[in-house]
Amino acid sequence: MPQLTSKVGLIVGVANKRSIAWAIAQAASAEGATLVLSYAGERIEDNVRDLAATLPNVTVLPCDVTDDEQMDALFESIRAEHGGLDFMVHGAAFALREDLAAPFVQTSREGFRVALDVSAYSLVALSARAAPLMAERGGGSIVTLSYLGSSRVFTNYNVMGVAKAALEASVRYLASDLGPQGIRVNAISAGPIKTLAAAGISGFSGILQTYRDRAPLRRTVETSEVADAAVFLLGPAGRGVTAEVLMVDAGFHAMGV
């Protein structure tokens, strides 16, 4: 039986067909979920709507995660149309290009604020709005997307690594706050994948090759593998897992010198 039948899920962060969030949307839909996909701005709206049209039972709504009014409107629409929410996938992340290219010590105040706001605080803001809709259904699951740069230095990852560290800490605090309501909060730390976000990191191809050379599986990972892990955390199989950062990186995180 499909794992997410009769479940309603919100997926934030789909940009194009290469997005990890889109792979999760496909996997969740295949498991029977009804989905709401949000988009940030008119620039990617057409992409998201075109992708959504390939799946059944999908609603597309705007949501700029830096705009409280848009977030309020998003969850009001979910309540009105679906009556509640069972899971949420948070895939929003952004840093100014100049703050990824320059040494971390040169990060601007504004660049630091933007990276932490979009990439970390947005999880808190969205979770605060999702929690009441999940609690009314007896609980739910929230999954966000992280990277090993949260705890190790990767060339040109810079302020995004700091944002991911804040994101992972937020997962633990949210899991503690929301656990009594039956809401689980986890992160997936995926290996490097050629997404729109990765395109902004100089030398990304070198990072991919390092994983191929050093990871125990001697390869990188695919979006479908991350999506399968997400379905596990979103569905009943992951019912005992919360406050976790699940590594889906072909084992690279375990390697030393």
Evaluate whether 176 touches 128 at the Cβ level (below 8 Å). no
DSSP string, 94-127: ---HHHHHS-GGG--HHHHHHHHIIIIIHHHHHH
Per the annotation, the verdict on 211 as an active-site residue is no
Residue 53, Cβ density class (10 Å: 0-12 exposed, 13-18 middle, ≥19 buried):
exposed
- CB burial of 140-153 (b: ≥16 within 10 Å; e: otherwise) equals bbbbbbbbbbbeee
Q: In which residue are the tokens 């629409």 written?
A: 77
Distance CA 39, CA 14 (A): 7
Distance CA 169, CA 180 (A): 19
Which is catalytic among the residues 121, 147, 173, 211? 147
Which is catalytic among the residues 39, 121, 157, 211? 157
Per the annotation, the verdict on 173 as an active-site residue is no
Question: Among all residues, which ones are annotated catalytic?
Answer: 147, 157
